[in-house]
Every structure is written in structure tokens, then in C-alpha cells.
Amino acid sequence: MKEPRYLVNDPYTADPSAHVFNGKIYIYPSHDIESGIPENDNGDHFDMRDYHVFSMESIDGEVVDHGVVLDVKNIAWAGRQLWAPDAAFKNGKYYLYFPLKDKNDIFKIGVAISDKPEGPFIPQENPIKGSYSIDPAILDNGDGKFYMYFGGLWGGQLQRYRNNKAMECGAEPADNEPALCAKVAALSDDMLEFSEEPKDVVIIDESGAPLKAGDHDRRYFEGPWMHKYKGKYYFSYSTGNTHKLCYAIGESPYGPFEYKGVILTPVVGWTTHHSICEFKGKWYLFYHDSKPSGGKTWLRSIKVIELNYNEDGTINTIDGMI
């Protein structure tokens, strides 16, 4: 699969989280709409209101739209903006994790439950205690433990927190200070809460020093994803305002993670957000761009391309413009 494949033309979708459940690929994206809200750095124009789930029996087969599986109208604590979700399976139940602004316009992370991977999903009455910011991504560690990675700058509000506490006047660190980190927390046995305080996902350079806030080409911005390959933990993420997908490798779910390179160069459209999934012995990168909408950042379309590793475990860089 040398060329990418667009998966969904209608509706517009973005931020695809792909998983293999019951021998099929299931994709959990956000759902872009034409909100009419002017574009700004806080992302107010991304006024998503529901989620669809899509499935595929083969990487080049039919993409089935299972319809709306969760609507903001059915979430008791909802304010606005259902952004990028993820999903997990444990003990016969499927869990959909989603960021959403509460009635005070503060992002929290919620969870909804279903008996089927395609939903529909029933939301819990309240968000996860101690959750904040955006972009939940779930790692099934294969040993019964599950971990959530989350966090995003600017509109994702991560800069408003230090040591898991909200700040009255949040701001990014100075360029010469350590960069803000994504967060990771183990989930409770029932998958509904954190079982610990979220910890920093530290990305280090080749000398072992944490990346600096001014290192915009490598530092974390949003869109975390974690996958395992040959016993190593691969933390991948978006650099945001430099529009790259990068990755770093570590020895445990908590890191630290040594920066290794770029997975995907910039795409058409400001944002870049992805997932990585193995299916039938091959690895795939799921991502989005704004080509089909004529470059409208807030109307994106999900796509997939094969991901290739080198013998040393590094990943071959993919051209985002193809």
C-alpha cells in the first residue's frame, strides 16, 4: 500500500483512532461540521457534536458507517466540542473515551460504554475525576493493564495546568525551559477512572535531556498515540504549529522516550492527528488531511497508508502531501 487511501468522503471526519476488534478494523474519529465559527488558535471552529464509528473487514475493503454512536445532547455534563476520541475493550465491554468541554468551558475527559465495538455508547454521568485537557489515547499493555495518554496545548488547555493542578493564568514555558509534556495515567480495573495521579510523558534528546519548549520541531503539542513494536514502546504525537507527526521510543509505558524522528511530514490543513495499528501482519498509519474540502482546516477527511519499519526499529518517514 504505497499510496494513501481516503476512507470516508461523507461525513467529514478527523483524528482517526483505529483498533482491531473481532478481526475487523474499527475507527473512532471526530466528526467535522461546518459550524460557521471563525477560525482561531483556540479551535472554536472545531465545534463537533457527535461521533460516528466506522469498520472495515480488509484494509482495501468497504468502509461501513455505523452511524451516530454518541451525541453531545445525551451527555449530562456537556458544554460543547466533542473532540478526538479513542476506544478500548476489556471483559466483554467497549469503552469510548472522549474530550468535551463542561458547562464552564473547561475540557474534561469522559467515558461511555457499549456491548459492541460499533456502539451505541452510553455515557457516564460525570467525567473522569482528575481528568483535563484533550486527546485521550488508550494503550492495552497486554497484561491486563490499560493506560491513558492525553493532553493538548492552546485550545486543548494543557498550558493551564502544572502538576495536575489548574493555574489561574496558564501559559507555555519559556523557550529555554523544558517543554510541557503529555500525561499518562493507569486506568482503574473498571476502566472508568484513573488509578493514579497522571504523570509526565517526558521526551528526551539523544543526550538524555528533556526537549525544550522552544524546540517546536520536536516537542509535544497534541495528538498522543502509543503502540508497542518488538517489545519497545513507541510514543507518537503531533508537533502542532510545525505540523509534523513525530515519535520517540521507550522501555516502559511511562518512558522516558527518546526522540527518534518524523513519521509524517505536514499535510494539507493545519492539524495532524493519527493512530497506528497492526492488521494481518502489516502496520498502518491512520491520519487525516483537508484536501477533499479544498484545504478547509475544520473539514477534514481520514485516510490510511502502510507504515514501514527499518531493521533498527526506526520508522520510515511518510510524505504528508501524497
CATH number at residue 295: 2.115.10.20
How confident is the model over 211-240, as pLDDT tens digits?
Answer: 999 999 999 999 999 999 999 999 999 999
In the predicted structure, residue 161 carries a pLDDT above the cut 80: yes
In the predicted structure, residue 86 carries a pLDDT above the cut 90: yes
Residue 43 lies in a domain: yes
Report d(CA 140, CA 254) in Å as an integer.
Answer: 13
Residue 315 lies in a domain: no
Give residue 168's pLDDT. 83
Say if CB 13 and CB 28 are below 8 A apart. Answer: no
Residue 168 is a catalytic residue: no
Number of folded domains that form the chain: 1
Among the options 15, 32, 258, 289, which is catalytic? Answer: 15
Q: What percent of the chain has pLDDT over 90?
A: 96
How confident is the model over 300-318, as pLDDT tens digits?
Answer: 999 999 999 999 999 999 9
Mean pLDDT of 189-218: 98
3-class SS at 160? helix
3-class SS at 241? helix
In the predicted structure, residue 1 carries a pLDDT above the cut 80: no
Three cell numbers, residue 67:
452511524
Give residue 143's pLDDT. 96
In the predicted structure, residue 170 carries a pLDDT above the cut 90: no
pTM of the model: 0.97
Residue 312 lies in a domain: no
Report d(CA 62, CA 71) in Å as an integer.
Answer: 25
In DSSP terms, which residues pair with 262 in a beta bridge? 246
Residue 222 is a catalytic residue: yes
- The residue range of the domain holding 198 is 5-307
Give residue 115's pLDDT. 98
Residue 87 lies in a domain: yes
Q: What percent of the chain has pLDDT over 70?
A: 100
Using pLDDT thresholds of 50, 70 and 90, give the confidence band for residue 163.
very high
Report d(CA 151, CA 157) in Å as an integer.
Answer: 8
Residue 314 lies in a domain: no
Residue 186 lies in a domain: yes
Among the options 32, 47, 118, 222, which is catalytic? Answer: 222
Looking up cell 493564568, which residue turns up? 169
Report d(CA 103, CA 247) in Å as an integer.
Answer: 35
Say if CB 254 and CB 269 are below 8 A apart. Answer: no
